[in-house]
Structure 1
Amino acid sequence: MTHTSTDQPTARASGALVPVLAFTGVVVSVMQTLPVPVIKDLPQLLGTEPSNATWVITSTLLSGAVATPIMGRLGDLHGKRGMLVLSLAVMVIGALVSALTSDLLTVIAGRALQGFAMSAIPLGIGLMRDTLPRERLGSAMALMSSSMGVGGSLALPAAALVAQHTDWHALFYGAAGLGILCIALTLLVVPESPIRAQGTFDVLGAIGLSAGLVLFLLPITKGRDWGWTSGTTLGLFAAAAVVLVLWAVMELRLKAPLVDLRTTARPAVLCTNLASITVGISFLAASLVLPQLLQLPKATGYGLGQSMVVAGLLVAPLGLTMMFTAPLYARLSAKYSPKVTLILGMMIIAIGYGAGLGLMSAPWQSLVITVILGPGIGLAYSSLPALIVGAVRASETGAANGLNTLMRSIGSSASSAVIGMVIANTANDVNGVAVPTMHGFRVSFLVAAGTTAIGLLIALLLPRARSPRHIRQRPPSNRRPVPPRRNRPVWFGSRPTRGCRRARPSRCGSAAPGPRSCPDS
């Protein structure tokens, strides 16, 4: 596979590029958690069973996981801005489909289309690398990467407020309006990247990867409902393993694969992707546990009795502190390296979950937990794209970051399944209703802390990565070019000179026969 690649920014970026791309990242990440405030009412609203209603969220996770690496590769081939606009357009169509119906299958189809928007995160990071000067790249990528957490956190109180005062379809109308705004801003502000990867799109690879991801993620997201040892769950895991192995063999034989597995096997890329899974798990654990604890009635003896909106507001600082961490990350990364900031972020996350084990008895304590976890997750999220960008060629940025975003999505899906299983298995039965227990919440935090410790070990194994200021070459000097040395010796008297007496260029730009022939030498 051949590439057209450069390490220099080749398109002029306006000052609004970073805010527009970051805003787009926040909007698309909202799609994942948009229906969460009304999930308990969806069975009644859609006339279905609770297990079927969960597909309203599951379908978005699955389609986002499938679309992210595919759209990243298409962006490398045909232009990242074009694919960004296309993914946003598909999201708008999906939001309108869900807004105009109360039929379960149609809503699920619309939600699946909304999942395509998740590819905007890696495409935006690729555009930043291709268009921004090096001094702005570190903080810009950090802000874009952390937008995944920011949108997910801010969506909870905003969606809860809308759901309490209007019809639930208004959530999807609002999502469509935000998507249209993002498309308009992108077309006005964001330039297209001239960097292209040469080759063709691997259709069979896209089909194989899509099938393998669906077969793998489906039992992860539905295993609790089906049973982890059921024939359906185990059969899908086995089928996923077979399909993904065959897909990998096929990709290794192609000249222009969908995913360059040889690149992903590099220690820097492999360890970064594995660490991304643990970061995804650690982020979602707090978002799953704290809202439930805050909304449980005080009659349980440990519930905090807060409304849906208040619970969302108390969890929202998790995303806000992630956003404010981006400038701090840029300074730390430039001074020490993205590897160091990833390690620091993992350590802060572990401390946050460890402290959270004893901070569950008052609403303000939940606020303390989120304020500790937010900077840690922000530093970790911000480090991941810089590590990927520093390890791959410019023409591979979209596909490589798409795969990294997929790893985070897998971590989030795994977190949802594992934390859900822990809480369900430790719940008390009260008049036929399963009520989560404090023991289940603490075990969930222990799981998150243990996963973060594994991520910390993986981060320590990373080779020392280049910081964003080292990704591109040094700018050319303003000094005049120095002519090359002459290949023939200069004669003094009857014999040629040797060593340092051979003709050499002087600072005045002329070829001098000896070290003292130029006045300013």
Structure 2
Amino acid sequence: MTPIARQRPTGGVVAVLITCGILASMMQTLVLPLLGELPYIFDTTPSDASWIVTSTLLAGAVSTPVLGRLADQYGKKRMLLIALLFLILGSVVCALATALIPMIVGRTLQGFATGIVVLGISLLHDVLPARKVAAGIALMSASLGVGGAIGLPIAAALAEYTDWRTLFWSVGVASVVVGALIVFLVDAPATRRAAVPFDYLGVLGLTIILLSVLLAISKGGEWGWTSVTTLGLVVLAIVVTPIWCWLELRTRSPLVNLRVAARGTVLLTNLASILVGFALYAQSLVIPQLMQLPVGTGYGHGQSMLQMALWVAPSGIVMMLAAPFAARLTATRGAKTTLVSGAVIIALGYAAATQVSGSLWGLTIAMWISSIGTGFAFGAMPTLILDAVPASEKAAANGLNALMRSLGMTASAAVIGAVLAHLTTEFGGRLIPTEAGFIAGLVIGSGAALFAALVAGAIQGPAEGVVAVDART
């Protein structure tokens, strides 16, 4: 079992890890302002250019649980620095790219850094004193939202007023600085584990399953849901999954400990994570489009990409501000209560958005409400996982939880995208989603959040979690 040696808390340790998480999460929105220009920049088709986004998603999905397992075996700080190195290398490759393939390679390398937030959460659990753990985890979790929200206006401004390569040079330089700070400020406990072979077969099996499922979901609409390629990927995942599970159950040190993952708290928290991820991404697909559509549609608000980004950005700050309140609720009532509350608040924010979609301020405030709920949910889920698994499984289990959230977001992109593509009208010579389509997307997101609250409510355990007990010591 890994010894946990808590160091004297410093604001610098928390701040540098949060900054690291923000940089990693910015990868989700870094290229969004460039989506319309990428086919022209690299002289390719929009379909091929979409791999610049898809490659990051796929790399992150595969690498996050792998980094978690490696962190449990070889040290969380070490793997955090390695993940940061991927981010730096990916940023440099993208900044220098003059063709599509190098750009995809760079974005794939950046995707390998997706697990930074997960590693940061597990590391904070080790290095902070018990009374500060819940607050630290909540703030680190909120960095996911902050990076995505503030990354959009920064990327839009840099893309509009400077060369697009500045985006990647800036991230690369910032990552080097943060990496140096981690080396000197973060004093992680030593990791002592018996030498066991790494589960390469587990990595191969999980990679096949995830790539098959994620490609089928994210590209099914483009390839055709009944096409040979899409159905073939689904069949491949169905065939490989039971074989992979059988191997994982018989491996001495599996990539994913299925026995731990099947425990009630872990299983239900992961299911809730899928639903929360689904709900979260629904808003990201609907509200920015509503803000940017022309006023002449009768329901659009005519905002530019930069203007829309500035309306959206404060939601990330709101999520960060909600983190201390989420930690306090966890300390007094338990992480289960915080997760249920967060899911209900997300649903309320979506419900509010359906009623005020005609107002920019109304949509913005509705996003703030949902962001508060997201901050509560994101802070609670890692706490529930970390308190339910042995020390030797913490990073790996947390990585699996992050993967579940990503699967939910990918499924949301497919479902909400299909709804918006089905409910369309012609405007200015092109098809755009109708107002009814946007409202339907918000209602679906609200339903997913309420379902997440029901699932979280089924988690068994005392009213106060382990963190709450520790907080009084």
Question: Which TM-score band (shorter chain)?
Answer: over 0.9
Residue of structure 2 equivalent to 1:266: 263
| 1:382 maps to which of 379, 383, 395 | 379
Shift, 1:196, TM fit: 4.0
Which of the residues 348, 353, 376 maps onto 1:351? Answer: 348
Matched, 1:283 2:283: no
Could you tell me which of 86, 96, 99 is aligned with 2:95? 99
Corresponding residue for residue 15 of structure 2 = 19
Once the two structures are TM-superposed, the CA of residue 15 in structure 1 deviates from its matched residue by: 3.1
2:322 pairs with 1:325 = yes
Q: How does 1:369-408 map to 2 (within 5 A)?
A: 369-408=366-405
- Aligned equivalent of 1:452: 449
Q: What do the CA deviations read for 1:234-269 (whole angstroms, capped 9, x no partner)?
A: 211111121122111100011111111000000000
Displacement of 1:467 after TM fit? 2.5
Deviation at 1:197?
A: 4.2
SS of 1:117's partner is coil
Tell me by how many angstroms 1:418 deviates.
Answer: 1.5
* Cα-to-partner distance string for 1:201-226 (whole Å, 9 max, x where unaligned): 11111111111111111111111211
Structure 2: unaligned runs, 5 residues or longer: none
Contact 2:124 2:137 in 1 (8 A): yes
Deviations, residues 72-111 of structure 1 (Å, cap 9, x unaligned): 1111101111110011111111111111123111111110
CA contact (8 A) 1:314 1:366 kept: no
In structure 2, what is the Cα distance between the partners aligned to 1:146 and 1:122? Answer: 12
Match of 2:254 among 235, 238, 257: 257
CA distance in 1: counterparts of 2:44 and 2:428, whole angstroms: 22
Contact 2:278 / 2:409 at 8 angstroms: preserved in 1? yes
Aligned to 1:467: 465
Aligned to 1:55: 51
Cα-to-partner distance string for 1:362-389 (whole Å, 9 max, x where unaligned): 2111211111111111101110010001
Q: Report the Cα distance in structure 2 between the residues aligned to 1:128 and 1:30, rounded to whole angstroms.
A: 21
Structure 2 matches for 1:486-501, cutoff 5 A? none
Aligned to 1:299: 296
Higher relative contact order (CA closer than 8 Å, sequence separation 6+)? 2
Q: Which amino acid aligns with 1:55?
A: W
SS in 1 for 2:358: coil
Q: Distance in 2 between matches of 1:18 and 1:367?
A: 29
Distance 1:337 1:157, change over 3 A: same
Q: What whole-Å deviation, never above 9, does each CA across 1:398-455 have from its counterpart, x for those lacking one? A: 1011111111111111111222221112122346522222111111101101111211
Unaligned runs of 5+ in 1: 476-521
Give the distance between the partners of 2:191 and 2:336, measured in 1 at CA.
27
Contact 1:13 1:190 in 2 (8 A): no
Contact conserved, 1:5 with 1:395, CA < 8 A, in 2? yes
In the TM superposition, residue 472 of structure 1 has moved relative to its aligned partner by 5.5
**Alignment-derived partner of residue 144 in structure 2:** 148
Report SS of the residue matched to 2:115.
Answer: helix
CA distance in 1, matches of 2:256, 2:471: 26
User: Partners of 1:234 and 1:377 in 2: how far apart?
Assistant: 34
CA distance in 1, matches of 2:404, 2:165: 31
3-state DSSP of counterpart to 1:368:
helix
Aligned CA RMSD, in angstroms, stands at 1.6
3-state DSSP of counterpart to 2:431? strand
> Would the aligned equivalents of 2:271 and 2:455 in 1 still touch at CA under 8 Å?
yes
Cα deviation code 1:268-322 (max 9, x no counterpart): 0000001011111111221221111111111112110112111111111221111
User: Counterpart of 1:83 in structure 2: which amino acid?
Assistant: M
Q: 1:139 touches 1:326 (CA, 8 Å); kept in 2?
A: yes
Deviations 1:179-204 (A, max 9, x none): 11221111121123324443331111
Amino acid at match of 1:51: S
User: Could you tell me which amino acid in structure 2 is paired with residue 35 of structure 1?
Assistant: V
Cα drift, residue 474 of structure 1: 8.8
Identical amino acids, percent of aligned pairs: 44
Q: Partners in 2 of 1:474 and 1:251 — Cα distance? A: 39
Which of 166, 173, 180 does residue 177 from structure 1 map onto?
A: 173
Q: Secondary structure at the match of 1:277?
A: helix
- Give yes or no for contact 2:5–2:189 (8 Å, CA) kept in 1: no
Q: Describe the SS at the equivalent of 1:435.
A: strand
Would you tell me which structure has more helix in proportion to its own residues? 2
Q: How many residues are paired up?
A: 471
User: 1:471 and 1:57 mapped to 2: Cα distance?
Assistant: 43
Pair 1:443 & 2:436 matched: no
- Deviation digits for residues 45-84 of structure 1, max 9, x if unmatched? 1111111111111100100010000011111101111110
Contact persistence 1:32–1:115 (CA under 8 A)? no
1:129 positional shift? 1.3
SS of residue paired to 1:94: helix
- Separation of aligned partners in 2, 1:344 and 1:112: 35
The amino acid that maps onto 1:30 is M
Displacement of 1:5 = 3.2
The partner residue of 1:45 within 41, 66, 69 is 41
Q: TM-score, normalization: structure 1?
A: 0.88
Q: Is 1:136 aligned to residue 132 of structure 2?
A: yes
Match of 2:207 in 1: 210
Q: What residue identity is the alignment partner of 1:236?
A: L
Letter in 2 for 1:449: S
3-state DSSP of counterpart to 1:16:
helix
TM-score (structure 2 length as normaliser): 0.96
**Helix, strand or coil: the match of 1:118?**
coil
**1:85 matches 2:81:** yes
Where 2:426 maps in the other structure, the secondary structure is strand
